[in-house]
Amino acid sequence: YPILFNTKGKLLYKGENNETIYFRNQSEYAIAEKYIGNNKTRYIFIDSIGKTKAFFDDLYSIQFHDNYIKIEKISNYNRTWGIINYKGDVIFQPIFKEITQFMYNNDEYAKLLLDDENFFYIDKELNCVNFDNKKCPIYN
């Protein structure tokens, strides 16, 4: 059972059996993770006073990148992707077929693909940009 204390010894979070709590340098939050079955993992973002910022109980995985956390869902054997910032805010819902690394426009933009024909680009601040004749759609 993982337990999270602050530097003054105050209990912030008491975890559950088979749960893991970890930290990322970019994040302002501790992240509790527990596989709950059926291709789903629960992720809880916990701030420095023990409050929950974000709670997800239907993700398959999360992947840490320099500018964001990529979230993955599996539904009916289909994988979809979204983006959370390091504050635990959902920036893009997990509806995308693919989210690339920052490899466009001299590694300044990433591409979010809804399908093979519909996509757009984001910058490193996670804002949509008009680039390569692709306009920013209403996506969230």
**In contact, 55 and 103? CB cutoff 8 Å:** no
At 58-81, the pLDDT tens digits run 888 888 888 889 999 988 888 999
- Going by pLDDT thresholds of 50, 70 and 90, the confidence category of residue 108 is very high
The Cα 79–Cα 76 span in angstroms is 9
Judged by average pLDDT, the poorest of 9-13, 24-28, 30-34, 40-44 is 24-28
- Going by pLDDT thresholds of 50, 70 and 90, the confidence category of residue 126 is very high
Query: Any idea where the domains of the chain sit in the sequence?
Result: 3-94, 97-140
Rounded mean pLDDT of the chain?
86
The pLDDT, as a whole number, for residue 139 is 52
Average pLDDT for 109-128: 90
- Going by pLDDT thresholds of 50, 70 and 90, the confidence category of residue 1 is confident
Go through 27-62 and write b for each residue having 16 or more CB atoms within 10 A of its CB, e for each that does not: bebbbbbbeeeebbbbbbbbbeeeeeebebebbbbb
Phi-psi region of 133 (alpha: psi -120 to 50; beta: other; left: phi over 0): left
